[in-house]
Amino acid sequence: MSNLAWIFVSTLLVNNFTLVMFLGLCSFFGVTAKIETAWRLGLANTFVLLLTAVGAWTLNTYVLQRTPFLRTIAFIVVVASGVQIVEMAVKKHFPVLFRQLGIYLPLITTNCAILGLALFQTARHYTLVESLVFAIGAGLGLTLALSLMASIRERIEVADVPVVARRMGLVLVVASCLSMAFMGFAGMGSAP
């Protein structure tokens, strides 16, 4: 139990997927202009992460043991089909959200966080339950990072910043500060 709690806290804060492990940076910079969209995309990501964790664990345990070189290809197919399922579900049940997310919903496929989760849980030999906790921690960590970044960027929008800093430069420096804040959790140790 304490192991599970540790995996959760570790992926949520200490090794935050976006700010410390650098996974999922495309959506981190692409979708964080408005806070509403940001946390919703985070939750959609969490759902795909859960699907991927189960799919990748099953594949890896029962199918890929003898053909480890097929892992990358097999995992990306799992991710792509998971995203497809989520896209159809969101389109049917939440049409408004579907329009808001637009192109960023199918783009979850190329979100490194999803494939990264599958690869990391394999490299660390997690069990099914551990993988699920890992996925929830990673998803909530993503949502947290996206929401934090979006709230800061909404403030930057109305602030008077120098001309050279109006584009990505300032956003990256802000991301650096956020990342530095998360480094503060590093004293809590490293992943098991």
Partner 1 sequence: MTAVVSDQSAGQPAFVPGAPPPASLGADIWRGISRENPVLVQFLGMCPTMAVTNTLANGIAMGVATMFVLVGSGLLVSLFAKYIAHEVRITSYILIIATFVTLADLILAATFPDISKALGPFMPLIVANCLLLGRAEAFAAKVGPARAVADGVGMGLGFTLSLSLLSAIRELLGRGSLLGHDLLGPRFEPWVFMVMPPGGFLTLGIALLGLAGIIELRRRRAEGAS
Query: What is the binding site for partner 1 (CB under 8 A)?
Result: 19-26, 28-29, 69-73, 76-77, 80, 106-107, 109-112, 114-116, 119-120, 123, 163-173, 175-177, 179-180, 183
Do 1 and 129 touch, CB atoms closer than 8 A? no
Rounded CA-CA distance 49/38 in Å is 16
CB of 78 to partner 1, least distance (A): 12
Question: Which is nearer to partner 1, 77 or 188 (by Cβ)?
Answer: 77
Question: Which is nearer to partner 1, 26 or 54 (by Cβ)?
Answer: 26
Question: Which is nearer to partner 1, 61 or 176 (by Cβ)?
Answer: 176
Sequence-distant (6+) residues with CB within 8 A of 171 are 29, 153, 156
What sections of 32-167 are H helices per DSSP?
Answer: 35-62, 71-93, 95-101, 112-123, 128-158
CB of 73 to partner 1, least distance (A): 4
Question: Which is nearer to partner 1, 96 or 163 (by Cβ)?
Answer: 163
Type of residue found at 158? V
CB of 2 to partner 1, least distance (A): 26
Rounded CA-CA distance 19/145 in Å is 7
In the 8-state DSSP scheme, what is residue 109? G
CB of 152 to partner 1, least distance (A): 13
